[in-house]
Structure 1
Amino acid sequence: MLLPLSVPPLMLTTGPVPVYPEVLKALGAPVLYDYHPTFQEFYAAVVEKLRLAFRTDIAPVIMQGEAILGIEAGAAALIAKDDVVLNLVSGVYGKGFEGWAARYGKEVIELAVPFDEVIDPQAVRDAFRQRPDISVVSLCHHDTPSGTLNPLYEIGAIAAEHGAYLIVDAVSSFGGMDAHPQSAHADIFITSPSKCLGSTPGLSLISVSKRGWEKIERNSDAPRGSFLSLAAWKDASIPGRTFPVTPSIAEIYALDAALDRYAKEGPENVWARHAETAAIARKRLLELGIALWPKREVWCAPTATAFRLPDGFTDVELRDRLLNEYGILLSLGRGDTSGKVLRIAHMGASAQPDFARTTIEALSSILSQSID
């Protein structure tokens, strides 16, 4: 097969990420008819593996589209027209959720911080004190354009104390750290297989709590008979049930392989590998005199490192030199971080300590050449 572009030898982008070899092999399996009993049993087994990975008591759902589908579907299903939504904004994706919250709810209250900071749980408590009618809280756990990590468990506990429903965008955090829906009191928790699980894009992996399903059932405005219908997938993993749409068969094969790999390596070992890789990247960047984008290192995520541009370089120039001279592809910033940062991903197969070392050595060489 002739690819339209050459594949970078070292692709450290924030998604999609390089997939594991097991995933590539699974993609080559024969595509079965989705109502073949063998596939239906296989699909049910994959959903069970995902449930175990999520560490939840309730079967999750798999929607057939990239994770933005899951995020929008979650908002449409859970947020009713009488809901007051507290949208927590510490980055581009947190801000982006505002549109969906406003579309489906009665009112959106924004709690925002500069995009190089994270949400303070005390500020969430204060918001509830000022507005006890808040009924839904929305949080982007790891906002990749900023490389920052919000305190998921602390915020989840506060939302639970006040009886509010919690929607979590865990697209680029789940699988790379301890981030689980039930422990976080998340009522809707969305992630992607194409980040820390090291699989392909094209699916939304969603955990819904028991009370989350109950609220969706009560919400007369929740999509039904629609591609956005989360409820339509609730029992789709029960063999013999009708799929709302034809599943992406090959993507399910890939997810199965990724979940098997995650379980075999051991979640805690996977998280440690991500954390070690990020720590090496941060340490060596600082040694070069390159500043991290987050104001405090403790706010940095273990799944992506965003760093400020060295003097004398534009983001595109530095990205292109890394790619053309060293075969390393990084991500540019997005939205408010565009033109201000480059981002090194540490997700799935790219979360390797040697990759971090190689990247910083290449940066060091480029900086040395600029001085000469």
Structure 2
Amino acid sequence: MLDCTVLPKIKRNVLLNPGPATTTDTVKYAQVVPDICPREKEFGAVMKELGESLVKIAHGSTDTYTAVLFCGSGTLNIDACVNSLVPEGKKILILNNGSYSSRAVDVCRYYHINHIDLKSSYTKPIDADTVAEVLHQDTDHEIAVVYCCHHETGTGVLNPIREIGKAAHDHGCTMIADTTSSYAMVPINLETDNLDFIMASAQKGIMAMTGLSFVIGNTKMLEESKNYPTRSYYTNLYMQYSFIRDKGEMHFTPPVQTIYAALQGIKEYFAEGEQAKWKRHQAIWKELVQGAEKFGFKPLINKEFQSHLVLALLYPDDPNFTFETMHDSLYAKGFTIYPGKVSDFHTFRLCSLGAIYPEDIKAFWQAMKEILSEMKMTIPIQYNT
């Protein structure tokens, strides 16, 4: 292991975008390892430790759950779960209240998978009672899978996966939750939250590098999916699972250095502690909210629906405002912000992901004050309605 205390400090940027997240130097330097063929037993041991730790973060037992690793972005996980877990002749119910759950609908359309696109407001959480009613009306039990995005990163809405999962299980359905931007931040328990499959990527909650994604799933259900229609080659969940199970390797070339960084990120996750880390994310979010209120920025959604991870703010109506100018000026000062993902609203997002702290947000708002002044904008921020 490298001694990072004797290595040069790397320029630190505060990323307030929804991922990739700001990382520690120890995670960055964890990628500097001797070259190794990923088919060696030594690397297989690294893969095994990583997979078991990922299950542990979600309070799962490795006797019941398995982590399936992929080389790719978070969308690969959506693809893998949707194309691999719907049995022949059955439907998947997609609870669509944001741009990331709608991506699962797109996957269904591309693979011609029979699905129900249950749309609801992008600015409010999904109503679990409505889900239960839709499932109750499915008297022929055509719906075999329920799919929900836990944290819709485009808006910051947090959906009630525990209640939705119960409704799914009461109807005998498999419950899939896209936890890409909540895993290792919002505490998740696979058993008590009624979850069969969850997913995430290394650059989010475990604060590591892009290129590694993973699905954590019920092992028995993974085994049963062997008999489901094979709609993809590279992203077939059972194929990847069985290869890791039998050989201790990913089927295709893994992102070797990224995996070492992910393992370091996990070590730092456990060192900080689940509750302490979640408390830190909430403290950052609180600083973001207080600063936004001080400047008069208007949030897209009500506080009661917010995840405490993402704050989506409406563009001001001030004629001197342009997002590009604000973004570029902040970027020059070491802060990155991100536009929204809701086509009906012009928003930008501030996120509390990554290895950042409340003092970083205080510095961010100071930089924002200087930039708004340079843009000759009116403060408090002006809105026409």
Cα distance change on mapping 1:363 and 1:123 into 2, 3 Å: farther
Query: Do 1:74 and 1:230's aligned partners in 2 also have CA atoms closer than 8 Å?
Result: yes
Structure 1 Cα separation of the partners of residues 312 and 12 of structure 2: 20
Q: Offset at 1:47? A: 1.5
What's the counterpart of residue 351 of structure 2?
345
Query: Do 2:310 and 2:351's aligned partners in 1 also have CA atoms closer than 8 Å?
Result: yes
Structure 1 Cα separation of the partners of residues 296 and 50 of structure 2: 46
Cα distance change on mapping 1:291 and 1:176 into 2, 3 Å: same
Counterpart pick for 1:174 among 172, 183, 188: 183
CA RMSD in angstroms comes to 2.3
TM-score (norm 2): 0.86
What's the counterpart of residue 323 of structure 1?
331
What's the counterpart of residue 7 of structure 2?
none
TM-score (norm 1): 0.89
Residue 305 of structure 1 pairs with residue 307 of structure 2: no
Query: Do 1:19 and 1:349's aligned partners in 2 also have CA atoms closer than 8 Å?
Result: yes
What's the counterpart of residue 49 of structure 1?
53
Query: Do 2:66 and 2:219's aligned partners in 1 also have CA atoms closer than 8 Å?
Result: no
What's the counterpart of residue 360 of structure 1?
365
Deviation per CA, 1:316-368, whole angstroms, max 9, x where unpaired?
A: 233233334x4321011125266x11111211213x11222222333344445
Secondary structure, aligned partner of 2:30:
helix
What's the counterpart of residue 26 of structure 1?
30
* Matched ranges for 1:123-162 at <5 A: 123-132=130-139, 133=141, 134-162=143-171
Over the matched positions of the two proteins, sequence identity in percent amounts to: 23
Counterpart pick for 2:207 among 184, 192, 198: 198
Query: Do 1:112 and 1:119's aligned partners in 2 also have CA atoms closer than 8 Å?
Result: no
Q: Offset at 1:9? A: 3.6
Residue 253 of structure 1 pairs with residue 257 of structure 2: no
Structure 2 Cα separation of the partners of residues 194 and 171 of structure 1: 9
Secondary structure, aligned partner of 1:60:
strand
What's the counterpart of residue 85 of structure 2?
78
What's the counterpart of residue 3 of structure 1?
none
Query: Do 1:316 and 1:332's aligned partners in 2 also have CA atoms closer than 8 Å?
Result: no
Cα distance change on mapping 1:227 and 1:121 into 2, 3 Å: same
Query: Do 1:79 and 1:101's aligned partners in 2 also have CA atoms closer than 8 Å?
Result: no
Query: Do 2:230 and 2:236's aligned partners in 1 also have CA atoms closer than 8 Å?
Result: no
More moved, 312-321 vs 75-84:
312-321
Deviation per CA, 1:44-100, whole angstroms, max 9, x where unpaired?
A: 122122221122122311112112112101111102342222111111111121122
Cα distance change on mapping 1:243 and 1:192 into 2, 3 Å: closer
Amino acid corresponding to residue 79 of structure 1 in structure 2: V
More moved, 278-287 vs 246-255:
278-287
Structure 2 Cα separation of the partners of residues 122 and 314 of structure 1: 41
Structure 1 Cα separation of the partners of residues 344 and 371 of structure 2: 22
Could you tell me which runs of 5 or more consecutive residues in structure 2 were left unpaired when the two chains were aligned.
1-9, 380-385
Amino acid corresponding to residue 260 of structure 2 in structure 1: Y
Cα distance change on mapping 1:239 and 1:160 into 2, 3 Å: closer
Query: Do 2:88 and 2:229's aligned partners in 1 also have CA atoms closer than 8 Å?
Result: no
Amino acid corresponding to residue 360 of structure 1 in structure 2: W
